[in-house]
């Protein structure tokens, strides 16, 4: 009975959990323990005019030593096409400041979900 209640509470908590990660390609300050393989799937979505933009990523984490972890992340998105147009970003000057913004003609364009690439990083812990 305790296991059943625990499972129900787990799924209830997962359903209600909403989080925002501003830097999804960065890892937290703690390392993955030695010999542990971790897998993380994450993504984000937003509406751009009438197009839903998505980004999904899969991260493999491995603790080599207690003070060294490696992370391999691959991501997919429909944020842009294979070739970016020359006029994608324009700018204007306001006083001593330059403001960059996308062209209105580029907003709402539909792109296929495609591979963004791979991101390999490590986190050496040199504090202790």
Q: d(Cα 24, Cα 73) in Å, to the nearest integer? A: 10
Instruction: Provide the pLDDT for residue 50.
Output: 85
Q: d(Cα 52, Cα 43) in Å, to the nearest integer? A: 13
Considering only residues 104 and 69, tell me which one the structure prediction assigns the higher pLDDT: 69
Count other Cβ atoms within 10 Å, centred on residue 75. Answer: 18
Give the mean pLDDT of 98-102.
78
Give the mean pLDDT of 94-107.
75
Instruction: Provide the pLDDT for residue 57.
Output: 92
User: pLDDT per residue over 42-88, tens digit each?
Assistant: 888 888 888 888 999 999 999 998 888 899 999 999 887 777 767 66
Q: d(Cα 19, Cα 70) in Å, to the nearest integer? A: 24
Count other Cβ atoms within 10 Å, centred on residue 32. Answer: 20
Lowest mean pLDDT among 23-37, 39-53, 87-101: 23-37
Dihedral (CA of 4, 6, 11, 12) sign: positive
Domain count, the chain: 1
């Amino acid at each position: 009975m305790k296991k059943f209640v625990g499972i129900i509470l787990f799924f209830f908590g997962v359903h209600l959990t909403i989080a925002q990660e501003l830097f999804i390609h960065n890892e937290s300050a703690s390392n993955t323990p030695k010999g542990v393989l971790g897998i993380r799937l994450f993504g984000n979505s937003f509406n751009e005019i009438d197009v839903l933009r998505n980004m999904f990523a899969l991260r493999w984490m491995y603790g080599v030593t207690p003070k060294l972890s490696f992370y391999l992340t691959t991501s997919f998105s429909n944020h842009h096409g294979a070739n970016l147009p020359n006029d994608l970003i324009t700018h204007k000057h306001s006083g001593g400041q330059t403001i960059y913004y996308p062209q209105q003609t580029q907003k709402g364009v539909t792109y296929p979900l495609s591979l963004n690439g791979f991101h390999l990083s490590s986190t050496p812990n040199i504090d202790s």
